[in-house]
């Protein structure tokens, strides 16, 4: 951990690591202690990053050569990321509170994104359109130019790679705005990227406040595409800024995802999914299983089993790889605890948990199971972003669908049943960008991911995502017949 502790970290602009007169303290959520500082980028830094990326995009250095050159850059980046995984994971664990093993997985997943999109960088093939003998017509996929990417704190390293890899594969220059609460793992990621030897200005990393640096980047006409992952409130602000220049955007926002559970489901598989679905990363996952919609015949049993599971989780700092770790900040802890308190006041029952863990110094929330939740309660429709599952009963299939689809969000959804016909019926009827059957978080970097409704629009991951990072140009040629 020594590498992180006490170090002052910098921003990366136009091929150089640069300081700023202002700094941000980065705090360890497991004990509330400051561990390092980072230069707090200014709007001037944001403008320098925009200018550098604009120059790089206009220079043709990312697109002039055969695409295989970009394949090689991306594969080199993947290799460099693998080489810093241990170092990066330790820093990410310390600044974010997450388990060391999960922090390690983030770096490995980041490397996988670069490998995956390396495989597509030389396959962006247009089509030829038949228009008769007097014309030749074809399409080209051209990069957007400058892609501005704004990243949240919950999975900063893997979410950064998720957008950066396809953007580079398609030949864009990129500016990444890291989250104020957890920017250090991304600095290690960029140190690795720097070693891969991309052209100057191809990538920049800024840690600044959302309201000034993020807002400046989103509102700039030099930004030719915005990829935002974060809350609905910030997404709205960014979309308003983007409207000024009609800047194309990908919005990966929040969720209130439901798993529908039938009596014929495999209980062991369900409980394994609940463990990862709502308690992984202390519930700070956009696609967390924050609602469990359970058939009334097994409702009491499932509530009891899930509560037993929640009580059995080992709790501690991320370095020890326990089951359950702190949330990111004192503020987040307060919000999660307040939402639980309000739900209980509305009539929900905390079968277990419901409060912060007072006996620990850091920002620990009790793993919480709320029963007796009615679909109209706030806790059943608003994102908590903490280790809190609301368990709601249903009687009929139609009712289950109505409850599951009854929020403004639609990121992921799930169904647990052994009946294949019912599983397929639900996969069609559930309103979400991704449906899991019998395993929460089934899928991977190869499967398209994104939301409907307030969960956003555009898709990340999979082959489909790369088309968010290009624009189609049609070339129509009149041929003279001599």
Among all chains, which residue has been given the structure tokens 């700023």? 20
156 makes contact with ligand NAD (CB under 6 A): no
Q: Dig out the tokens for 70 from the structure.
A: 């970009």
Pick the closer one to ligand NAD by CB: 262 or 436.
436
- CA-to-CA distance for 10 and 420, rounded, in angstroms? 53
On whether the CB atoms of residues 327 and 282 are closer than 8 A, the answer is: yes
Could you give the string, one character per residue 96-135, with x where binding to ligand NAD holds by CB under 6 A and - elsewhere?
----------------------------------------
Within 249-288, which residues bind ligand NAD (CB under 6 A)?
Answer: 252-255, 286
Residue 16 CA from chain centroid, whole number: 27
308: tokens are 């037993």
User: Which spans in 175-329 are helix H?
Assistant: 184-195, 215-219, 232-245, 267-274, 299-312
142 is catalytic: no
Candidates 286, 340, 383, 460; catalytic one = 286
Judged by CB, which is closer to ligand NAD: 73, or 107?
A: 107
* DSSP helix/strand/coil, 152: coil
Toward ligand NAD, which CB reaches closer, 240 or 474? 240
Question: Is 201 exposed, middle or buried (CB count within 10 Å of its CB: 0-12, 13-18, 19+)?
Answer: buried
Q: Which of 52, 364, 383, 412 binds ligand NAD (CB under 6 A)?
A: 383
Cα gap 379→339, rounded to integer Å: 7
The smaller minimum CB distance to ligand NAD, of residues 168 and 238, is found at 238
Catalytic residue flag (residue 160): no
Q: Which of 61, 252, 383, 460 is catalytic?
A: 252
Query: Footprint of ligand NAD on residues 186-215 (CB under 6 A)?
Result: 210-211, 214-215
Min. distance of Cβ 295 from ligand NAD in angstroms? 28
The DSSP secondary-structure symbol of 210 reads I
User: Of all helices (H) and strands (E), which one includes residue 250?
Assistant: strand 249-252
Closest separation between CB of residue 92 and ligand NAD, Å?
Answer: 15
Q: Does 153 bind ligand NAD (CB under 6 A)?
A: yes
- Closest to ligand NAD by CB, 214 or 318: 214
Distance from chain centroid for Cα 378: 24
Cite the active site residues. Answer: 252, 286
Query: Which residues of the chain form contacts with ligand NAD (CB under 6 A)?
Result: 150-154, 159, 177, 179-180, 210-211, 214-215, 218, 229-231, 234, 237-238, 252-255, 286, 383, 385, 411
């Amino acid at each position: 951990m020594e590498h992180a502790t006490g170090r002052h970290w910098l921003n990366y602009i136009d091929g150089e690591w640069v300081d700023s007169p202002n700094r941000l303290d980065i705090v360890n959520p497991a004990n509330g202690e400051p561990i390092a500082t980072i230069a707090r980028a200014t709007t001037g830094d944001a403008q320098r990053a925009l200018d550098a990326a604009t120059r790089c995009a206009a220079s043709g250095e990312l697109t002039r050569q055969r695409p295989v050159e970009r394949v090689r850059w991306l594969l080199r980046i993947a290799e460099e990321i693998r080489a810093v995984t241990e170092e990066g994971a330790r820093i990410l664990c310390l600044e974010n509170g997450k388990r060391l093993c999960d922090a390690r997985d983030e770096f490995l997943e980041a490397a996988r994104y670069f490998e995956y999109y390396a495989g597509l960088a030389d396959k962006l093939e247009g089509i030829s359109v038949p228009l008769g003998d007097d014309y030749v017509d074809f399409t080209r996929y051209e990069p957007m130019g400058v892609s501005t990417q704004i990243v949240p704190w919950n999975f900063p390293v893997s979410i950064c790679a998720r957008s950066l890899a396809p953007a580079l594969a398609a030949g864009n220059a990129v500016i990444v705005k890291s989250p104020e609460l957890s920017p250090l793992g991304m600095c290690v990621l960029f140190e690795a990227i720097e070693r891969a030897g991309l052209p100057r200005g191809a990538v920049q990393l800024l840690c600044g406040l959302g309201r000034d640096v993020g807002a400046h980047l989103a509102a700039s006409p030099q930004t030719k595409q915005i990829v935002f992952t974060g809350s609905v409130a910030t997404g709205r602000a960014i979309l308003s800024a983007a409207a000024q220049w009609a800047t194309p955007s990908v919005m990966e926002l929040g969720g209130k995802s439901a798993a529908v559970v039938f009596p014929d489901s495999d209980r062991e598989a369900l409980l394994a999914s609940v463990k990862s679905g709502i308690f992984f990363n202390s519930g700070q996952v956009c696609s967390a299983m924050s609602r469990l919609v359970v058939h009334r015949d097994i409702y009491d049993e499932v509530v009891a089993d899930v509560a037993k599971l929640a009580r059995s989780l080992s709790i501690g700092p991320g370095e020890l790889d326990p089951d359950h770790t702190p949330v990111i900040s004192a503020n987040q802890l307060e919000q999660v605890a307040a939402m639980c308190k309000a739900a209980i006041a509305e009539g929900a029952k905390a079968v277990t948990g419901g409060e912060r863990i007072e006996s620990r110094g850091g920002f620990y929330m009790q793993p919480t199971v709320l029963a007796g939740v009615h679909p109209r309660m706030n806790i059943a429709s608003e994102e908590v972003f903490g280790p809190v599952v609301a368990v709601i009963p249903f009687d009929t299939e139609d009712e289950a669908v109505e409850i599951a689809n009854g929020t403004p969000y639609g990121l992921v959804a799930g169904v647990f049943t052994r009946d294949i016909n019912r599983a397929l019926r639900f996969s069609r009827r559930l309103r979400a960008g991704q449906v899991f059957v019998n395993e929460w978080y089934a899928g991977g970097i190869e499967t398209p991911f994104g939301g409907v409704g307030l969960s956003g629009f555009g898709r990340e991951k999979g082959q489909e995502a790369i088309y968010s990072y290009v624009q189609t140009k049609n070339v129509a040629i009149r041929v003279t017949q001599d």
